[in-house]
Amino acid sequence: MSDYFKNRPSKCNSEYTSPDQIILCPDHNQSLYCHLLCGLVQRDEVVRVGAAFAFVLVRAIDFLEKHWKELCSNIRSGHVSEWITDLEGRNAVSTILRGPDSILADVIEQECSHKSWEGIITRLWPKAKYIDCIITGQMSQYIPMLEFYSNKLPIVSTTYGSSESTFGMNVDPLCKPQDTSYTCAPNISYFEFLPVDHKGDMASIVDLVDVKLGCYYEPVVTNYFGLHRYLIGDILQVTGFYNNTPQFRFVHRKNVVLSVRSETTTEEDILKALNHVGLVLESSDLMLMGFTCYADISTFPGHYVFYWELKAKDVQDVFELEEKVMVKCCSLLEESFDEVYRKNRSKDECIGPLEIRVVQQGTFDSLMEYFISQGGSIAQYKTPICINSSEALAVLENKVLARFFSEKSPPLDS
Ligand code: AMP
C-alpha cells in the first residue's frame, strides 16, 4: 500500500500479469480471482508463476480448481463476474480482457477438464520456466504438491527475510528445494548471531564474520532504523561460504515444539515425520493440503493431535478415507519421532496414541481467515505448525470429519 510501491519505476510494471489495482484490492478473494483471470488471459507471456510463500500458491491452485468454469465463462463473454465489486479492480481487469475470446476459453476449459491436475501449471502457462516462492522451513510441506502441479519445474526459493529486513538471498537458485541455503548479504542490515545453546544472555553473540561452519544460531538483526535489535526467533545452520559471506540453511522456528512429557518435538521433527507419510498418501492418491497440530494434555495420558485437510489427487475423484491408510499414517508419524517420544509412548505409556483428525476441505482457509481477522497480513500468512490458541482450535474442531488413532506403540529402535 506504500507510495514506494505505487510509484516504483515503470520498468517493474511489466513484472506481473496483474495491474496494481488487483494487487492492492483489499478483498483477497476478489483479488485472487482477478489475478487468475489476468494470468490466464496473458498466458503466453507468463514465464514465472509464484507467490511470496508456497502456501499462497497452493491455495491459488485450489481456488482455480473451484473457479475455472466461471473464469472460462468470463473469458468467453469478455465480462467480469458480477461479484467482483471492487470498482478499480473491475475496470483494470476489463481492460485486460479486451472483449470475448472463445478460442482461449476453449483451450483453458480443455486443460482444466482433465481428470488429473498433474502438470496444470505447465499446461495453462506453457512458457513458465520456474516456480518462484519460498519453499524452505515450514513451506517445505508443499514441495510434493507444487512438483505435482508443475510437472517438476524448478522451484526457486529466492529470499529469506522478514518484516524487519531481508536477511539473505539464494545464490544457487536452481538447486533442489531441499538444498536451499541463503547467503546473508552483510550490507542489508547489521547481523549478529546467538549460538542456540546460549544461556539466555547475549554474551555469547557473534558477528557475521565469526559464525562457524555446521553450527546453529539464532539471528539478531538491527536494520537501518537502528532503534531495535530484533531477536528473529529462527534457527539457522551455517552450510558454507560464498566468497567470505556465510550461507545458512533455515532449520526451524524457535519454540515451536510439541511436548506432552519430557520429549521435545520441534518443527523440523514434525516436518520430517510428515515427509515419511508422503509415500503412503501418494499411493492412496491423496494430497495433504494443510495441517497443524497440538499436544492435548487435557486427559491422561496426553497425546499429539494432528489436524489434516486432505484432497484426492484426481480432481473428479470422490474423496474417500480408508481407515487402514489413516491408521498407518498415525503409526508412521510416531515411528519418525525421536527416541524420547517413543520411549515415553511405548515403555512408560505416558504419551497416548497419536491422533489424526481429518477436517473438511476449506478448513485451513477458514483458519487463515480467522488469523487475518485478528490483524494478520495475508501475504505473510503461514499456517502455524502448532496451535495453542483455543479460538483457533475451535475453528478446526467445528470442521472435524473423522478421527483416527495409532493402534500400536512405535518400536524403540526405529
Ligand atoms: P514476517 O515478518 O511475518 O514476514 O515473517 C518472517 C518469518 O517468516 C521469518 O522469521 C521466518 O520464520 C519465515 N521466513 C521468511 N522467509 C523464509 C524462508 N526463506 N524460509 C523459511 N522461513 C522463512
The tens digit of pLDDT for each residue in 233-261 reads: 999 999 999 999 999 999 999 888 899 98
Q: Which of 170, 177, 199, 160 is nearest to 52 (CA)?
A: 160
> Ligand 1 mean position to 117 CA, how many Å?
29
- pTM of the entire structure? 0.88
Q: Which of 56, 164, 178, 234 has most ligand 1 atoms within 8 Å of its beta carbon, as the pocket-test mutant? A: 234
Cell 476453449 sits on residue: 106
Give the model's pLDDT for residue 414.
57
The ligand 1 atom at the shortest distance from the C-alpha of residue 163 is 2
* CA quadruple 17, 22, 24, 30: dihedral sign: negative
- Supply the mean pLDDT for the chain: 92
Residue 12 has pLDDT above 70, yes or no: no
- Using DSSP's 3-state secondary structure scheme, residue 390 falls into helix
Q: How far apart are CA 290 and CA 278, in angstroms?
A: 13
Closest C-alpha to 39, from 12, 55, 57: 57
How much distance in Å is there from the Cα of 161 to the middle of ligand 1? 5
Q: Which tens digit of pLDDT belongs to each residue from 275-309?
A: 999 889 989 989 999 999 999 999 889 999 999 99
141 CA from centroid of ligand 1 (Å): 15
List of residues 6+ apart from 7 with CB closer than 8 A? none
